[in-house]
Amino acid sequence: MRARSIRWLILEGILMTTQLAGTTAAEISLSVDPQIVLNQIDPKIYGHFLEHIYRSANGGLWGELVFDRSFENLSQYLGGAGGHWVAEGNVLRQQSLGIRLCQSFGDPTWTDYEYTLETRQDDGQDCLLIIFRRHDTKRFYWYNTGGWGGLMRAGVKGENYVQRCRSAAVQSVQAERWYRIRVRCEGSHIQIHINDQPTIDFTDIDDPVLAGGVGIGTWGTTASFRNLRVTALDGRVLFEGLPKVPAAKPEPNRWRAYGPGTCQRSKENPLNGAICARIDALAPASAATGIAEGPIQVRKGETYVGSVWVRGKARPGIRVRLLEGEKSLAVCMLPAPIDAAEWMEYPIRLTADSDTPDARLAIELVGAGRVWIDQVSLMAESVRRDGGFRPDLISAVAGLRPPVIRWPGGAYAERYRWKEGIGPQSKRVRSPIVIWDDQDVNSFGTDEFIALCRRLKADPLIVINTGRHDPATPRSKYIRDACQWLEYCNGPIESTWGKVRALNGHPEPYGVKYWEIDNETWPVGASEYCRIVREFVPALKAVDPTIKIAICGCADYDNSPKIGGWNRVVIPECATLADYYSIHHYEDPDQYAEDPRRYEAFLTTIENQIKNSPNPNLKIFVSEWNAQSTDWRTGLYCGGLLNGFERCGTFVGMASPALFLRHISASAWDNAFINFDQKSWFPAPNYVVMKLWHDHYAPERIALEGNAGPLNIVATRTEDGNRVVVKAVNPGGSDVDLALRLRGGFRPLSVRLQLIAPGSVAARNTLDTPDAVRPENVPITIDGPRIRFSLPAYSAGVAMIER
């Protein structure tokens, strides 16, 4: 069977690889033989991947309505101006823990100069960025200080990460300490000093950037900068002072202050994180003083329940309201007087008297007082009763019927602290990093993820943090942490972490079968990653020998200058320790026609490497894939790639695209299947195609013979042989008339065709037009053993043929 499958796969590749655009054919004739089964297709190729970025979990799928419940991102928003960057005297502060928040300035024609400044890390666990020779957005250098777990490892690199030079000396960066930085650029020679100590001495011999301005930035940290100066090597001062502070950018779901009193970020004894909010109000006052977050969708008659933790004094009390503009939709007065030296939790119950998509949750003092507040939570009572998931988004996810869900990342998993996401919500703390517009507050943790999977009847797959971003901590700590996570999920109630799970309300083991050893580990190198695998896997198997292990494979085509050749090292070294080989592939959406076939061929090269390894049964797991758009190109790409996975069913055992969910305010990665705001959602074309394909999954691929021209097409059948499914993508610019002859005595009695043909690769769905790209039933002709139908230009469809 295996030899026959490979032979037919090669034959189909030869027959179907033709010019993909501009083909004009009156008719393409193919024959389908349901009696010849070429390979089985694992339904897990229709898996999905949930990562805590772009509000996919907290503020998205999870029905919590308060986005920043512990006020960790408070300071840059309370005043309502200045955005992330604020000038205070001779100091410029960047106040967000977001990633890659940079300010560039100066003249792109500057050549040789010294750039000096002082910088201080104020909060966070990642790096400060010193930018120089910035010619444009693609060609520049930056110096990374404080990255990789707070260590002073320096990198010089460009946009595509093709250059990197790390310092020989590695030292810790101390928060709230000023460091003097001096960068000297002379021709292709770059020197960098910290506190007058040499850190980098680097000559760029590979297409050096010889001119450009300068800049500053942060990645996952807040920071201060002062005494910025650029001096030409002949002594001329090119720049001195602070760059212009950019205008504030309005962002949704952020707390904002109002009223005559003051509201401020406070580090004074927060409940369980690093920050809380302090509200001060004096009497008499003309209006209440408070803070509000929104927008929130509320519905008339719905009751919203939650709580707020408070300490301090407020004799008239604290008022909690739902507001639309200045209009109150619901009011809840906390018991007065407030007089608590220690934190106390107060329940909130609000019933809205009208519908609005733009409500705000307000917490305010109605008289004199000083209070600190933390851990604000609010959820629709009906949502809480139904498990805590936002109804429309859980319905959208359920529509895809994922057989497996990978979680919690992605890059998010690389620093995930699972113990901070279990137990009472008010005791959970924020993620240590901001990643892709999101600093998760851990409202959605292991127990919520398992509840999601059980609700959807999906297998959970958990990605482990191996500690590679924390080199100061022994790896043994992360191995122990991973084993405890496994015990929490799978251990009996008598085990140490099984008891903790039971105390959290879940006495029965979860039985999580699939575990992945970190994510995109390429920066540590293939040999070091093999050492990680050899240390983690035996320890995990000692806890539960029944689990299945996925290990990190290559990116794209395994040919990048930095990490190419990964497969040649990791597969032979680690194949016996794993069941799945996890690879990633993101594609330019303009390659929607060509890349699915190209990538399918690449998958066969990996399969050949696996066949020659010590474990020829290792399966490929395409754990992240997509074309980077939400127009119809990504739908065509999705159909073509899924057809490839079905053709490669012998060795592709699992797949999961990214992104799964994304708030429409997101700053990047416009490729998500489910796109939403606080009101509603829309499916991108990849969602529409994947749903159609999965809805008509059949487990056995069968023989398809003939010249398919521009079409990407696959034929499958049900196990009983009574239904044949043909999935076809026409990515070309011309219509195709298709005739299929059923062989092997299969006589079609009924046929249905569902076709997606929006007419343009630019077609897309939106919140206003969520079904512009959708499948429709179209006529199909039965002519004895033949069926006939048309595939318009830029279309994808599924024919269901029954006998």
Nearest to 509 by CA among 450, 561, 571: 450
CA 597 to chain centre: 26
pLDDT score at 372: 97
The pTM of the full predicted model, rounded to 2 decimals, is 0.87
pLDDT score at 647: 98
Residue-wise pLDDT tens digits, 456-467: 999 999 999 999
Residue 424 has pLDDT above 90, yes or no: yes
CA distances from 626 to 36, 120, 292, 583 (A): 31, 39, 37, 12
pLDDT confidence tier of residue 204, bands split at 50, 70 and 90: confident
Specify the residue for token string 């008499």.
284
- Choice among 73-87, 332-346, 620-634 with the minimum mean pLDDT: 73-87
CA distances from 668 to 274, 628, 636, 662, 663 (A): 28, 10, 21, 10, 10
Residue-wise pLDDT tens digits, 736-775: 999 999 999 999 999 999 999 999 999 999 999 999 999 9
Residue 160 has pLDDT above 80, yes or no: no
| Spatial separation of the C-alpha atoms in residues 180 and 161, rounded to whole Å | 25
The residue ranking higher by pLDDT, 440 or 61, is 61
| Spatial separation of the C-alpha atoms in residues 516 and 579, rounded to whole Å | 10
Residue 298 has pLDDT above 70, yes or no: yes
| Average pLDDT taken over every residue of the chain | 89
pLDDT score at 252: 67
pLDDT score at 79: 43
| Spatial separation of the C-alpha atoms in residues 120 and 138, rounded to whole Å | 27
Tell me if residue 112 falls in helix, strand or coil.
Answer: coil
Q: What is 191-243 written as a DSSP string?
A: EEEETTEEEEEEE--SS-----EEEEEEEEEEEEEEEEEEEETTS-EEEEE-P
Residue 249 has pLDDT above 90, yes or no: no
Edge-to-edge strands of the sheet including 48-49?
Answer: 48-49, 404-407, 459-464, 514-517, 548-555, 580-587, 619-627, 652-655
Question: Letter for the amino acid at 179?
Answer: Y
Angle, to 10 degrees, between the axis of helix 595-611 and the axis of helix 566-574? 40
pLDDT confidence tier of residue 125, bands split at 50, 70 and 90: low
| Spatial separation of the C-alpha atoms in residues 587 and 17, rounded to whole Å | 19
Residue 393 has pLDDT above 50, yes or no: yes
Q: Do residues 221 and 128 make contact, with C-beta atoms less than 8 angstroms apart?
A: yes
| Spatial separation of the C-alpha atoms in residues 347 and 697, rounded to whole Å | 48
pLDDT confidence tier of residue 97, bands split at 50, 70 and 90: low
Residue-wise pLDDT tens digits, 561-610: 767 799 999 999 999 999 999 999 999 999 999 999 999 999 999 999 99
CB 305: neighbour CB atoms within 10 A?
18
The residue ranking higher by pLDDT, 532 or 439, is 532
pLDDT score at 433: 78
By percentage, how much of the chain surpasses pLDDT 70?
Answer: 90
Q: What sign has the CA pseudo-torsion 262, 263, 266, 268?
A: positive
221 CB contacts (<8 Å, ≥6 apart)? 97, 121, 122, 123, 124, 125, 126, 127, 128, 146
pLDDT score at 247: 64
The residue ranking higher by pLDDT, 155 or 530, is 530
Nearest to 73 by CA among 95, 58, 91: 95
The DSSP code for 740 is E
pLDDT score at 164: 43
pLDDT score at 244: 85
| Spatial separation of the C-alpha atoms in residues 529 and 468, rounded to whole Å | 10
- Beta partners for residue 339, in sequence order: 313
Give the mean pLDDT of 200-229.
88
Give the mean pLDDT of 85-98.
82
Nearest to 198 by CA among 186, 211, 184, 210: 184
Residue 146 has pLDDT above 90, yes or no: no
- Beta partners for residue 701, in sequence order: 39, 716
- Beta partners for residue 398, in sequence order: none
Residue-wise pLDDT tens digits, 279-291: 999 877 778 999 9
| Spatial separation of the C-alpha atoms in residues 724 and 718, rounded to whole Å | 7
Q: Do residues 155 and 164 make contact, with C-beta atoms less than 8 angstroms apart?
A: yes
Residue-wise pLDDT tens digits, 784-794: 899 999 999 99
By percentage, how much of the chain surpasses pLDDT 90?
Answer: 75
Residue-wise pLDDT tens digits, 532-568: 999 999 999 999 999 999 999 999 999 877 677 999 9
CA 326 to chain centre: 36
